[in-house]
């Protein structure tokens, strides 16, 4: 599935990284511990987190994660937005909490 389909399906806002919107999504991963994402996330997944620090982009780039969904309407730092554009990794935003957005994503990818 394309990121654009997920954005439409889950009603997400695109914060940055518009140049990466053609990435393919192979699955999802949910975690707020960056070391856990480094250890366990898989290439092509879309990652749901509440972390907004710039290190999330470095982790996503390292693991070839396709996009990041930031929950609860949290606003990513300026550095994070800049790095998302440089690395072509879309930062997507939802007002929903992790439980609800993960449930909807699971349904959509099933």
Partner 1 sequence: MDFFRADLHIHTVLSPCGDLEMSPGNIVSEAAFKGLDIIGITDHNTTRHCDLITKMASEKGIYVMQGAEVTTKEEVHCLAFFENTDTLKKFQEFLDASLPEIKNDPSIFGYQVQVDEDENVVYEESRLLINALYRSIKETAAYIHSLNGLFIPAHINRTKNSIYSQLGFLPDNLDADALEVSKTTTPEQFLKSHPEIKDFTLIRSSDAHYLNDIGTAFTSFYINAPTFAEIGMALRGENGRKIVIE
Query: Can you give the binding site for partner 1, defined by CB under 8 A?
Result: 33-35, 37-38, 51-55, 58-59, 77, 79
Return the beta strands (E) in 1-110 as ranges.
13-16, 27-30, 45-49, 67-70, 91-93
In the complex with partner 1, which residue's Cβ is closer, 97 or 107?
97
What is the crossing angle of helices 98-109 and 3-10, to 10°?
120
Tell the smallest beta-carbon distance from residue 64 to partner 1 (Å): 16
Least distance to partner 1, CB of residue 11, Å: 26
Residue 35 or 110 with smaller CB distance to partner 1: 35
For the bound state, the minimum distance from the C-beta of residue 91 to partner 1, rounded and expressed in Å, comes to 16
Q: Is 28 helix (H, G, I), strand (E, B) or coil?
A: strand
Q: Which one, 3 or 80, has the nearer CB to partner 1?
A: 80
Q: Going by C-beta distance under 8 Å and a sequence separation of 6 or more, which residues neighbour residue 51?
A: 32, 34, 70
């Amino acid at each position: 599935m394309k990121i654009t389909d997920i954005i439409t399906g889950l009603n997400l806002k695109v914060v940055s990284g518009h140049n990466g919107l053609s990435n393919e999504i192979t699955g999802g991963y949910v975690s707020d511990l960056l070391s856990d994402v480094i250890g366990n996330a898989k290439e092509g997944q879309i990652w749901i987190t509440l972390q907004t620090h710039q290190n999330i982009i470095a982790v996503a780039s390292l693991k070839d994660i396709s996009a990041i969904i930031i929950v609860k309407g949290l606003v990513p730092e300026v550095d994070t937005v800049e790095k998302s554009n440089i690395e072509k990794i879309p930062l997507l935003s939802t007002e929903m909490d992790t439980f609800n957005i993960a449930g909807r994503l699971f349904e959509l990818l099933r």
